[in-house]
Structure 1
Amino acid sequence: MKKILILITILFSFSASGISKETTFTNKIFEKSQLDGKTVIIHSWNKTCSTCAKQVKILDKAKQDFKDVIFLSFEQTKDKEIAKFLSIDYWTTIVVYRDNKEVSRSIGQTNKEKIYSQINSL
């Protein structure tokens, strides 16, 4: 019984840390993208967050569907300066910038249609 509990604990640990994402956000890329008139999506995540993992899957698909959009991400707990710069307080935040302005922000959203609608927001 003890071995089964240990095995279950290990399996849950692996599934919770399923995100193998890197920080792609830099001020230089962010500023240049906005100067070029691009829509920029920023995703704040944490590797132990299951909601973040769901968002990553949706955003990875969105990268294929929205070729002209710049997708940037950062790990909330490691990149605290980025979080402060963008006023992002939660792991599961998705922010859309267009024309040098924030046009949309959601926290914890895992519905593909709503995230896509957020990307398309005016």
Structure 2
Amino acid sequence: MKSKLFLLLLLSCLFLSCQGQTAKNIQTLDPKTYAEKLKTTEKPQLLDVRTPQEYEVEHLENADNVNINSADFATKAAQYDKTKPVFVYCKVGGRSAQAADKLAEMGFKEIYNLDGGIMKWSANNLPKTSQNTQNVKTGMTSDDFQKLITSDKKVLINFTAVWCGPCQKMKPYVLKLQEELKDQIKIVRLDADENKALVEGMKIDGLPTIIVYENGKEVWRNLGYITEEELRKHL
């Protein structure tokens, strides 16, 4: 009995030790700290884990494109040195967090994840490179947006994206509210990728973002997933 108890305690300690080691291997840094760490690291291994299409439009200088959702992610990632620091980023941080976990499982010793992804990086006015302007969809101008929010009714703007899980989870009830409350409030969903210039100009640094306006003035903002019940309280 005592030997079984000892074995269970030993296994528990080993499990917790491994968990702690994995967590310790991954650090999520805000954009400015991430940029400074990149700058001070000799020959950093920088992985953009988004799609090739996203990478083509814009990416961080000297980043390699290794798509986390590609079947050959592990094969490509294995080509990098596991003993040296590796930096990962995506659009808003979700995919890079998955990539960081995968790299830790593969044995990488020092992993840095960009908090908020390239959206928050842009909101902090940090440099990007190789922007293919032919593929950039600028969308709505700031003047058009100002006209949109200038109304005798409340206006709710929902910044969203097709690849954003929480955005898609909220979509059904946002559309329901759009129809249900159309006489009291104007609800507009704007795709962040289709309105890139507007998003960067407003320094939207994460999705989903909801902003409520009255008489053209912002009165409430929420970043991240919110339930229908909570959203109704602000309408």
Tell me the TM-score normalised to structure 1 length.
0.65
> Matches of 1:77 and 1:34 in 2, distance apart?
20
Shift of 1:100: 1.6
- Secondary structure in structure 1 of the residue aligned to 2:172: helix
> Matches of 1:91 and 1:32 in 2, distance apart?
23
Higher relative contact order (CA 8 A, sep 6+): 1
Question: Please, which runs of 5 or more residues in structure 2 have no aligned partner?
Answer: 1-138
> Matches of 2:173 and 2:223 in 1, distance apart?
14
Kindly report structure 1 stretches of 4+ aligned residues shifted beyond 4 Å. Answer: 24-29
Tell me the TM-score normalised to structure 2 length.
0.36
Shift of 1:29: 5.5
Cα gap change, 1:51 to 1:63, in 2 (>3 Å): same
Deviations 1:25-67 (A, max 9, x none): 6656643344432211111111111100112112101112211
Deviations 1:44-101 (A, max 9, x none): 1111111001121121011122113112222223422111233311121111011221
Determine the structure 1 residue equivalent to 2:221. Answer: 105
RMSD: 2.3
| Count of aligned pairs | 96
For the pair shown, the structure with the greater C-alpha radius of gyration is 2
Cα gap change, 1:30 to 1:80, in 2 (>3 Å): closer
Q: Aligned pair 1:49/2:164, yes or no?
A: yes
1:62 aligned residue (177, 198, 201): 177
> What is the one-letter code of the residue matched to 2:151?
D
Alignment of 1:70-89 (within 5 A): 70-89=186-205
> Matches of 1:66 and 1:25 in 2, distance apart?
24
Mapped contact 2:149–2:216 kept (Cα < 8 A): yes
Question: Please, which runs of 5 or more residues in structure 1 have no aligned partner?
Answer: 1-23
Determine the structure 2 residue equivalent to 1:40. Answer: 155
1:90 aligned residue (206, 209, 215): 206
> Matches of 1:78 and 1:30 in 2, distance apart?
14
